């Protein structure tokens, strides 16, 4: 992974990666140094034109600041959280405090797949459940092909495996509020001392402790701690592409009678047959149908 490139370009421009932003100021890393930069020209007129994770060309100024003049083409992009050029998503979820929310987890997985981002699943607070319970939660996702790591960030349990998957990669940390994302970052890189929060006993969900997206140096890579959220919109995915975001559907989706099959109400559907035969988990298929119906009910422009 190349985190920075300090080689000046023609016309005296420099290339770097945006690590974070505050208001209209973007902090660009290159050659081990951060340059506070502002947008120049047309970028000032575009809302969120520059994202954390962007590779940009900027014009250094004598006072140590700079002006961003070009954004390089992104290989992927997330809207919520707003970040670009991510290698993988580390999705943190829990069985307790807050309670297990598999529909929400599957939304994260679908959106990561749609954005062409690999996934690592971290079952945090595994110390609050038995090893048998942890295995029962993890195994269905392992069968689909996901890496699932039971961890306890509070006690430092299982973090060596997480570290090995972060080294040399740009990762985005995601998950429901209160699952322990900031605590996990603190456990992996104690010197960062990110603010953490507890789960509200009244509401049963976590309090937001991260307010913006920032790329942090963690375990030999870059890790984006992001604001927690509890609702993810899948309606931006075309209805005929949603099934491709479920890895277990891929071996069956092209075997249907109709090439335009949405794997819902059509006859002779190979995906539905695979569900009936136990090759695809019924719970995952039900969530596929739930997401598909949301897409179908959305404005026509999304279809």
pLDDT score of 190: 87
pLDDT, one tens digit per residue, over 110-162 is 999 999 999 999 999 999 999 999 999 999 999 999 999 999 999 999 999 99
Strand partners, 225: 173, 214
The model's confidence at residue 231, banded by pLDDT at 50, 70 and 90, is: low
Alpha-carbon separation of residue 220 from 75, 169, 180, 282, 283 (angstroms): 21, 8, 21, 39, 37
Task: Kindly report the average pLDDT of the chain as a whole number.
Answer: 87
Alpha-carbon separation of residue 161 from 17, 88, 262, 299 (angstroms): 27, 15, 38, 43
> Quick one: which of 252, 238, 255 has its CA closest to 281?
252
**pLDDT for residue 29 is more than 70:** yes
Q: What are phi and psi of 247, to 5 degrees?
A: -55, -35
Q: Kindly give, in sequence order, each residue whose CB lies less than 8 Å from that of residue 215, ignoring residues fewer than 6 positions away.
A: 17, 18, 19, 20, 52, 53, 170, 222, 223, 224
Long-range contacts of 203-210 (CB under 8 A, 24+ apart): 204/98, 204/99, 205/98, 205/176, 205/177, 205/178, 205/230, 206/98, 206/176, 206/177, 206/178, 206/179, 207/177, 207/178, 208/177, 209/182, 210/181, 210/182
**pLDDT for residue 256 is more than 90:** yes
- Start-to-end CA span in the chain (Å): 37
**pLDDT for residue 42 is more than 80:** no
| Maximum distance among all Cα pairs of the chain, rounded to whole angstroms | 68
Overall average pLDDT of the 202-218 stretch: 61
**pLDDT for residue 193 is more than 80:** no
Domains of the chain (ranges; CATH) run 10-73 (2.40.50.140), 78-225 (3.40.50.300), 242-302 (1.10.40.50)
The model's confidence at residue 182, banded by pLDDT at 50, 70 and 90, is: confident
Portion of the chain with pLDDT greater than 90, in percent: 72
Alpha-carbon separation of residue 162 from 102, 167, 170, 192 (angstroms): 21, 9, 13, 17
Strands 77-78 and 83-84: antiparallel
Q: What are phi and psi of 196, to 5 degrees?
A: -120, 165
The model's confidence at residue 43, banded by pLDDT at 50, 70 and 90, is: low
The model's confidence at residue 229, banded by pLDDT at 50, 70 and 90, is: low
> Quick one: which of 3, 219, 209 has its CA closest to 90?
219
């Amino acid at each position: 992974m190349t985190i920075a490139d300090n080689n000046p370009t023609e016309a005296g421009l420099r290339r770097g990666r945006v690590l974070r932003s505050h208001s209209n100021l973007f902090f660009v890393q290159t050659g081990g140094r951060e340059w506070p930069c502002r947008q120049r020209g047309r970028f000032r007129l575009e809302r969120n034109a520059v994202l954390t994770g962007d590779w940009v060309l900027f014009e250094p100024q004598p006072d140590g600041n700079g002006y961003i003049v070009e954004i390089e083409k992104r290989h992927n992009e997330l809207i919520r959280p707003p970040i670009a050029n991510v290698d993988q998503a580390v999705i943190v979820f829990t069985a307790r405090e807050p309670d297990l929310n598999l529909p929400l987890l599957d939304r994260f997985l679908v959106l990561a797949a749609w954005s062409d981002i690999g996934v690592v699943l971290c079952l945090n607070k595994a110390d609050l459940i038995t090893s048998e319970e942890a295995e029962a939660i993890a195994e269905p996702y392992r069968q689909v092909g996901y890496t699932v790591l039971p961890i306890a960030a509070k006690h430092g349990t299982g973090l060596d495996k997480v570290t090995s998957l972060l080294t040399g990669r740009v990762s985005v940390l995601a998950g429901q509020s209160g699952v322990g994302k900031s605590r996990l970052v603190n456990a992996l890189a104690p010197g960062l001392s990110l603010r953490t929060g507890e789960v509200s006993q009244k509401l049963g969900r976590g309090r937001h402790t991260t307010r913006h997206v920032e790329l942090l140096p963690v375990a030999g890579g870059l890790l984006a701690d992001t604001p927690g959220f509890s609702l993810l919109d899948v309606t931006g995915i075309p209805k005929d592409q949603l099934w491709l975001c479920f890895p277990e559907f891929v071996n069956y989706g092209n075997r249907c009678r109709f090439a335009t099959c949405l794997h819902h109400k059509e006859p002779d559907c190979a995906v539905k047959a695979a569900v009936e035969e136990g090759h695809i988990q019924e719970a995952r298929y039900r969530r596929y149908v739930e997401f598909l119906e949301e897409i179908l009910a959305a404005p026509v422009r999304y279809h």
